[in-house]
Structure 1
Amino acid sequence: MAGNDLGSLLGGLIGEGEGKGRDGKLLATLLGTLGDSGQLGGNPLEGLMRELTEGGLGEQARSWVGTSANTAVSGPEIAQALPYQTLEHVAQQAGCSPEQAADRLAEALPKVVDRLTPRGEVPQGSLEDLIRQQL
């Protein structure tokens, strides 16, 4: 699926109205970058969870997947957890600084991961299918 289409789907998932798909596009770029590794079989959500866990945000990320309240994260925490090259690429594609991208991701990721994992586990399947199931 094209990045803009994925961005629109993700924007719809987090409730962005018409013309406000900036965070959806940011998330699409992040998930697309994580999915480019070829190890995840079309589900970069698993890669995101791994990156966040390895980056020290495992407890927070698990709260987003689980069925209890979502634990908030800050932009600096996201910036520290994600590989710098990934964050830099996402920021460049979004036309903002890495710090701004991290702040926007910190706000959007808990909502998106929560919505994509309604049963308290990372589901299998393509990201596009997972998003469509939740819209």
Structure 2
Amino acid sequence: MSILGNLGSLFGGGNQTDAAAGGASLVSVAGQLIQQAGGIQGLTNLLQQHGMSDAVQSWVGNGANQAISSGQLGQALQNGGLNSVVAEAASKLGMSQDQVMNGLAQVLPHAVDHLTPNGQVPSNGSGLDLSSLAGLAGKLFGPHTDTA
């Protein structure tokens, strides 16, 4: 199932408009996580410390992105002190924290991949332009004919 289809079911019913709006919100939450973690470098370091090195390297590199489970992500974020970002997002979106974590586990690999187009993690998080994630939301959740 595509990310759009998965998020459509997350937002109740698979309506493409709901999925696009929810997907854009999840991309925004991913941006907040990246920011709170100290940029791409901070987030990748955190996830690598919690056993996700291979997956994180696949996101940064130029190949296919490896998946992570929402459980792995949740544990890393909680241990890294970032669970409050997820709790706040769940409250704002009217979703459970599990639903937000499931969505983030799908969106975060694409966000990191999108923000590291040359296969390199930027060394300074302060120079990160998170506004470029808006384009990612459109690519992932915008209207298209892919039903896979």
Structure 2 SS opposite 1:21: helix
Q: Tell me how large the CA RMSD over aligned residues is.
A: 2.8
Displacement after TM superposition at 1:56 (Å): 2.4
1:128 aligns with 2:123: no
Structure possessing the higher radius of gyration over alpha carbons: 2
Picking from 24, 40, 46, the partner of 2:41 is: 46
Matched, 1:22 2:22: yes
Aligned partner of residue 82 in structure 1, secondary structure = helix
Structure-2 change in CA distance of 1:74 and 1:33 (3 Å)? closer
> What is the deviation of 1:100?
0.6
1:26-80 Cα shifts (integer Å, max 9, x gaps)? 232343255247xx4xxx2233222222332222111100112211112222112
The reply on whether 1:77 has 2:82 as its aligned counterpart is no
Where does residue 4 of structure 1 map in the other structure? none
Distance in 2 of aligned mates of 1:111 and 1:55? 19
Moved over 3 A (4+): 128-135
TM-score (norm 1): 0.65
Flag the 1:113–1:36 CA change in 2: closer, same or farther, 3 A. closer
TM-score, normalised by the number of residues in structure 2: 0.61
One-letter code aligned to 1:127? D
Hey, what does 1:106 align to over in structure 2? 105
Aligned residues: 114
CA offsets 1:66-105 (integer angstroms, 9 cap, x no match): 1122111122221122123332223223221111111101
- CA distance in 1 between counterparts of 2:135 and 2:42 reads 20
